[in-house]
Amino acid sequence: MSVDLLVEKINKRGNPSVAGLDPKIDYVPAYIREKAYANYGKNLKGASEAIWEFNRGLIDALYDIVPAVKPQSAFYEMYGLYGEEVLHRTISYAKEKGLYVILDVKRNDIGTTAEAYSRAYLGKTEIEGELFDVCPVDCITVNPFPGSDGVKPFIDDCVKYDKAIFTLAKMSNPSSGELQDLITEDGTRVYEKIAARINEWNENTIGKSGYGAVGAVVGATYPEQAQTLRKLMPKSYFLVPGYGAQGGGAQGVKPCLNNDGLGAIVNSSRGIMCAYKKGGWKDEQFAEAARQEAIRMREDLVSVL
């Protein structure tokens, strides 16, 4: 019912990082694309199969270094049903390799609709009394905009099926402050109000790791805010985007960590996926380059623990 499985894998690898699988097509080495287009056509299917080859190579190179991967749903949805199928294949393969899978979907809706989303990714879908797995992952991202009754259905499935969620609190993009940083009448900011809610939602889900099922997405680009949020949600794991490509380094991550050196998992997508484009690698070495970057990132993060 908690985030224990993630913490276990982080401890095992000595590595609080997650490899984002956001496969923009120009991230995929040309030779993989060409081969996929030759086999399946220069179309949505060909592009999807190229992404699958790329993802498989990345997972093979990373599964003993990183504890988790985070596919970003948008980059699969943009190839339609072929892309969705490759997303399912990628998730299954990552799980086979022992990786914790965080699916970045940022789903949100009111009660019964949130329930339907939750069944798709965390729970199970019931058909005439029988339960079916649909797209089972360990964890998803959730948008808290609809309030408690939009988030509760996800939490219920976390408790029931030992899953976890990361709820948006303070994002890493430049305009995230427009809504999230608004100051409310009592002087606190909107992201602090959300943090207080997350802390409440998390309360009854604490596992043996000391952390609960309801984590928070907290951008590494705003360290002072991260510090405040850490205090407001002491038992929530943080998913930290914005390392590397978006400008935040390991120092930016530090305020997201608790004194136990735990409490945060840091995402890198482009930094790892496109490592082969820097420093004299050949396209064919994309997986080895990704592995080296994942190791470098691990050392960087461990240095601030």
Catalytic residues: 106
> Shortest distance, CB of residue 272 to its own copies, whole angstroms?
16
Does 173 sit near its own copies (CB under 8 A)?
yes
d(CA 135, CA 148): 24
d(CA 67, CA 8): 9
d(CA 184, CA 190): 7
Helix axes 286-304, 44-62, angle to 10 degrees: 50
130: tokens are 């029988």
Does 290 sit near its own copies (CB under 8 A)?
no
In the list 9, 13, 70, 107, the residue contacting its own copies (rule: CB under 8 A) is: 107
> Shortest distance, CB of residue 126 to its own copies, whole angstroms?
8
Q: Which is nearer to its own copies, 185 or 224 (CB)?
A: 185
Which residues, 6+ apart, have CB-to-CB distance to 280 below 8 Å?
Answer: none
DSSP letter string over 19-62? EEE---GGGS-HHHHHHHHHHH-SSHHHHHHHHHHHHHHHHHHH
Q: Which is nearer to its own copies, 173 or 204 (CB)?
A: 173
Does 38 sit near its own copies (CB under 8 A)?
no
In the list 127, 279, 280, 303, the residue contacting its own copies (rule: CB under 8 A) is: 127
Query: Other CB atoms closer than 10 Å to residue 205's CB: what's the count?
Result: 20
Does 305 sit near its own copies (CB under 8 A)?
no
Per CB under 8 A, contacts with its own copies among 181-210 are 182-185, 187, 190, 193-194, 197
Binding stretches for its own copies (CB under 8 A): 22, 24-25, 33, 37, 42-44, 46-47, 72, 74-75, 77-81, 84-85, 88, 106-114, 116-117, 119-120, 125, 127-128, 130, 132, 134-135, 143-150, 168, 171-180, 182-185, 187, 190, 193-194, 197
